Structure 1
Amino acid sequence: MKKYTSTIRIMTVLAGMAMLGGSCTKHLLDQPSSMEVDKEVFWKTDADALAGIMGAYADVRPLFDRDYYFDGQGEYVRVRGVSAAKDDLQNGGAYAVNTGSSGFSPSGFGQQFDAMYKYLYGGVNRTNYVIDNVRKMLASGSNVSVPKLERILGEARLLRGMVYFRLISMWGDVPYLGHTVTSNDEVVSLSRMPIAQIKDSIMADFTYAIDKLPARSDQVGRAAKPAALAFRGKLQLYWASWNKNGWPELSTFKPSTAVATAAYQGAADDFRHVINDFGLDLFRGGAPGVVGRLGRADTLPNYYYLFTPVANGDGEMVMAFAHGGIGTFQGEELMRDFAGRSHEGSQCWVTPRYEIADRYQSTITGDFAPKMIPLNPSTVADARTRLNSAVNPQSYANRDYRMKASIMWDYEVSVGMASLKSTGWVPFIYKTWAQPFVIDGETFLTYNTDGSNSGYVFRKFLRNYAGQGRSDGDYAFPVMRLADVFLMYAEATNEVNGPQADAIALVNRVRLRGNLPPLAGSKTGTKDAFFAAIEQERIVELLGEGHRSFDVRRWRTLEKNWNPPGGPGVWRIDTWGAQQQRYFQNTNDRAMQQCYIFKIPQSERDRNPNLTQNTPWM
């Protein structure tokens, strides 16, 4: 009989260590590898432990710094593929490389994350390696600074907690590894631990980190106390959501209203500390900045710059993973994924869907504007000038400033780039790829974005300056922002006590960055109305950052957002009115259930007969 080897990536502790880079931490790039030195001479000094935690950050970063792909499982972002994986097989990219398909789609995604499962366990083992060795150093007490080591141990436990949080949010019950694994024999017979027990272990990791991390980090990319508090609050918020809304696809989980209430309260308490006790503020004070003229991009709102390296180290970035930029082999690939070929040959893997435009509210009324009307300019003579036409640039005037900062529509421009130099302004004209186009008497070459099928492309995450290749960015990607904390706090307190004045004020602060007026009384008068307002802000504020699919699953709103099982499905269209993709057509109950929980990889079950399967996948 063939002896199988578990694909859980225990070998990450044996691999060469990648270095963490960042605009303010270049000296960290010179740290020695903790994997290439015998442990008898390593793990002896503070410097050794620092090198070890930097390796853990570098190994865990690829599990989170492309979370934007997850937005393709929601209603407002299309993911048509994934970049070639550079840092091993990043995020969900592995299954796309292996199968030629993308699981980042609104439906049918629950069985396509086998590779992510094993790479998440690689992150677990990498952090366990640091935890085990730093604990030994603390026990010996020689040649070490206890506070420095406890900080590093807190960072490692925060990272481990984040990885396990991701695992349970996707698969529910999973095996738990609390120590470094060096042999596959240790994992081939593990059973799945109940989610409640793993949640308690994650809570313990986050609580230790809260106790040992500094109030403010001295280096971009290293976590501080607010990050641990925010993640503990988020874990409790999710735990509350699962207990309130149920998780029937996880057969071992029994929801409890009392547990939900306590968890919402615990989440609110943690978020309140983050908001009030560390002097944190929104980027540029949450001011909207200047929106600039339609069809121009020389002046953009502050929200746009939040997603450029200008914001690295800003107080809004409660937790971010640093990148090294040019020549470090640690650059982010945001431009490659979000931009088109006119920007250093980028590939436009991630684009806005048509439906997101109607989510941006009026700066005049503070409410939704009349819905866009899709019109084909090649057959409708006044399509470019008709009121509310999706291809009339004037239809986008007086909208939430985050619209101009996040997406581009016809006649909006960006800076083209080739060979690290600017090629000047390139206007986006849907279905007109890299063609001469005259605007106000001046000829431009249009933006080549053949990856878009909606009539929109992203401006968010798109660099507005030349000098870096598509894979050489140095932006510190946020996995926890203060604006998200504001909105999660509002959600938690609303669940317990209904709309509260402080929560309403925080939501209004998030809205202010879009130059929107405060919420009307009708939006805050009831618990349900305020929740809808919070959800609205989460959609536009966190667009393209990977939160939407996790929200709709914990809220159990897939059927509401699309249609009940057995229905005709929902077409996604473009600004010309053409039907592009149809989702959830004749979906049966089981297929819908499979969107709420992920399939335990069959390859793992073949290797380990003790691994049970989630109910919808039996």
Structure 2
Amino acid sequence: MNKLLVLLTLAAVAIGAGCKKGLDRTSFGVLSPVNFPKTEAEFETYALEVYKPFGSKWSYSDGGTNQFLWHGMEWSNTFLNDLPSDLIASFPEWGGYWTEMSAANFLPRINHGADGHFQKTRFITRITKIIADIEAASISDAKKKQLVTEARMARGWLMYYLYTLYGTVPVILDASKIGTEAEADLTRPDKASFVAAAAEDLRYAADNLVKTPAEYGRFNKGIALGVLMRLYLFDKNYQQAEAVGREIIAMGYNLINNYQDLFRVATEKNDETIWAVSVDPAGDGTGAKGNFNAWGFYTYPSDYPGMLSSGARKGGYSNPSSFTATWAFYDSFDPLDKRRALLITTYNAVNSAGNPTGVVKTRANLRGPVIAKYPDDDATAFQGNDIPVLRYADVLLMMAEAINGHAGPNSEAIGFMNTVRARAGLGNLPAASTASKEAFAAAILQERAWELYFEGFRRIDLMRFGKWNEYLQAAGKTPNPAGANGYFPIPQYVLSAGNGKIQQNDGY
């Protein structure tokens, strides 16, 4: 386990003053703020708490409430953005929220409790308190700037994720308001001020982080710029997004030759992956251990044979798997597209002991192709593959989108697209795909599906391009409610506590 993972485990004991839990103040631990943190090392541990939402575990404890992580398994960015999309087949076998989410039925999320992501507004308050404590600390200016920078990165990133999930949400960004009646004011801020505050945090982080931190897994300059670029695109601020994208391009990232190597343990550190969740091969999803990657259990059917000769892992949790690509998505690929190779269309089934059953799974008896983006090639209980969160290919596609958004399909924007396609073994875009701003936008959205499937982007992409309802309906799903346009509802417990100050999202 690397140093950062060890420190993150220690950070679970950090304590601060009261913040919102629902709407009630709560204590975050048993250590007294009178004696912790005091030293520079203690502030280091204290500040590392800001990383908790961005790891990959089953959940983390926040003031006695279990919270899901953005890059974990269930209720992660992949669960929220890919499962309820046109690329993934509906999955009714487990019932409950699996049936609802895979069908893009968000209406029941009104009753999501305090374990839902809206509670991340409370974590933002927590980060605001951490920032204030660091700024008042008697530690070196260099350490102070480093820790404040990481905290502001986390706060801006949380605001971006919440913005794409709920729209604007009430947040506490001024530490003097913590513990006052301001915490009970659930009035939603206007869009301009919310986006500006998130952008300010991310800009500060980008200006003060380095490309390659000494400890792998810490926030870096690239991820700060990447999230800022995503924020501007979601807000349709195309010129600002383009400017940020040019900063990333100037940093010297490159596409690697083999697409599949991006997701393999042996080649997970490369020139294309800008930031990934650092996975501990010994991790099991519990708080005492590092991040883990359990996606194989969700994407491989239970009768899928392990790729390892030792048979360390054979198949996943269900049959069919809970994340199965649709045949329509598979058929949308050019047969020459190398990225399609990670969608498996046939295999020889095995039983629970790993022995062949004689049944051959093909298109005739599979709900859809098996997603093999994280290959089963690491001999651990869970996979050891790091989980990419931002790749240079994504930046190139976002650059094409940003330029097209304000200038149309010029040669530079088309070139960015063709660079990504060339790595996939494809030729340049046909003329019809670049004939107009609308045609090029459709081509960008399609290319993002082929390049970034099962990496946690699709719902946000469809919302950003204004295609949420149209594309889901074309895939045989009926978004509920259609008027929400991909947004989740504000939970009822928040509405009840808000005394009319917080308004429900459209459509609910």
Task: Tell me which interval the TM-score lies in, with the shorter structure as reference length.
Answer: 0.7 to 0.9
- Work out whether 1:352 is the aligned partner of 2:274: no
After superposition, residues 5-404 of structure 1 pair within 5 angstroms as 25=4, 27-28=6-7, 31=10, 33-35=13-15, 37-61=31-55, 62-65=69-72, 66-69=76-79, 70-78=81-89, 80=91, 100-112=97-109, 115=112, 119-126=116-123, 128-140=125-137, 142=138, 144-178=139-173, 187-240=183-236, 263-276=237-250, 278-282=251-255, 284=256, 287=257, 302-327=258-283, 328=289, 330-341=291-302, 342=304, 343-344=313-314, 346-347=316-317, 348-362=321-335, 399-404=336-341
Look up the SS of the partner of 1:77 in the other structure.
coil
Secondary structure of the 2:41 match is helix
Moved over 6 A (4+): 180-185, 416-419, 447-450
Q: State the Cα distance separating 1:82 from its structure 2 match.
A: 10
Name the structure 1 match of 2:58: none
TM-score (norm 2): 0.80
Name the CA shift for 1:148/1:280 in 2 (closer, same or farther; >3 Å).
farther
CA distance in 2, matches of 1:360, 1:535: 13
Is the contact made by 2:44 and 2:147 (CA closer than 8 Å) also made in structure 1?
A: yes
Whether contact under 8 Å (1:71, 1:104) holds in the other structure is: no
Q: Could you say which residue in structure 1 is the equivalent of 2:27?
A: none
- Separation of aligned partners in 2, 1:407 and 1:150: 45
Q: 2: CA distance between counterparts of 1:449 and 1:220?
A: 41
* Residues 345 and 362 in structure 2, CA contact (< 8 A), matched pair in contact too: no
Change (3 A) 1:518 1:323: same
Q: Report if aligned partners of 1:161, 1:205 keep a CA contact under 8 Å in 2.
A: yes
SS where residue 275 of structure 2 aligns?
strand
* Larger Rg belongs to: 1
Could you say what secondary structure the match of 1:604 adopts? helix
In structure 1, the partner of 2:457 is 547
Equivalent residue for 1:558, pick from 450, 465, 468:
468
Map of 2:20 onto structure 1: none
Are the counterparts in 1 of residues 118 and 490 from structure 2 also a CA contact under 8 Å?
no
Which amino acid in the other structure matches residue 173 of structure 1?
Answer: T
Q: Indicate whether 1:599 and 2:494 are aligned.
A: no
Which letter does structure 2 place at the counterpart of 1:50?
Answer: E
In structure 2, relative to structure 1, the CA distance for the partners of 1:49 and 1:332 (3 Å cut) is: farther
* 1:510 corresponds to 2:382: no
The C-alpha deviation readout for 1:339-389, integer Å capped at 9, x for no partner, is 122444522221101111122114xxxxxxxxxxxxxxxxxxxxxxxxxxx
Specify every segment of 5 or more residues in structure 2 that has no aligned partner in the other structure, as ranges. 16-29, 56-68, 284-288, 305-312
Q: Show the counterpart of 2:370.
A: 457
Distance 2:399 2:206 in 1: 18
Query: Does the CA-based 8 Å contact 1:81-1:102 persist in structure 2?
Result: yes
Question: 2 CA distance for matches of 1:455 and 1:132?
Answer: 47
Q: Deviations along 1:36-62, whole A, 9 cap, x unmatched? A: 533222232332233234332123431
> Which residue type is aligned with residue 400 of structure 1?
D
Q: 1:211 to 1:171 in 2, by over 3 A?
A: same
1:82, 1:231 → 2: CA distance? 35
CA contact (8 A) 1:130 1:153 kept: no
State the alpha-carbon separation in 2 of the partners of residues 339 and 177 from structure 1: 42
Aligned partner (choices 353, 357, 370) of residue 435 of structure 1: 357
3-state DSSP of counterpart to 1:491 = helix
CA-CA distance at 1:229 after TM superposition: 1.2
TM-aligned CA distance change 1:546 to 1:502, over 3 Å: same
What is the SS of the residue equivalent to 1:64?
A: coil
Tell me if the contact between 1:340 and 1:449 (Cα under 8 Å) persists in the aligned partners. Answer: no
Give the TM-score normalised by the residue count of structure 1: 0.67
For residues 111-151 of structure 1, what are the alpha-carbon distances to aligned partners after superposition, in whole Å with 9 as ceiling and x for unaligned?
426548854354444454344334433334x3x23223212
* Partners of 1:75 and 1:106 within 8 A in 2: no
- For 1:129 and 1:170, locate their aligned partners in 2 and report how far apart those are by CA, in whole Å: 20
Contact 1:44 1:137 in 2 (8 A): no
- What CA distance in whole angstroms lies between the structure 2 residues aligned with 1:82 and 1:214? 46
Give yes or no for contact 1:170–1:597 (8 Å, CA) kept in 2: yes
Amino acid of the structure 1 residue aligned with 2:358: P
Distance 2:447 2:421 in 1: 7
Secondary structure (helix, strand or coil) at the match of 1:320 reads strand
**Contact 1:593/1:616, CA 8 A, preserved across alignment:** yes
Q: Which runs of 5+ in 1 are unaligned?
A: 1-20, 84-95, 241-262, 288-301, 363-398, 427-433, 438-445, 564-569, 573-581
Q: How many equivalent residue pairs?
A: 457
- 8 Å CA contact retained: 2:8, 2:49: no
Identity of aligned residues (%): 23
The CA deviation string for residues 30-86 of structure 1, in whole angstroms up to 9 with x for no partner, is 645324533222232332233234332123431233322221222111252799xxx
Q: CA deviation at 1:325?
A: 2.6
The structure-2 alpha-carbon separation of the partners of 1:212 and 1:356, relative to structure 1 and needing over 3 Å to count, comes to same
Task: Render the CA deviation track for 1:162-206: whole Å, top value 9, x for unaligned.
Answer: 211122222223212225797697644422222222111101111
Code of the residue aligned with 1:611 in structure 2: it is I
1:409 aligns to what?
345
Q: Which amino acid in the other structure matches residue 331 of structure 1?
A: F
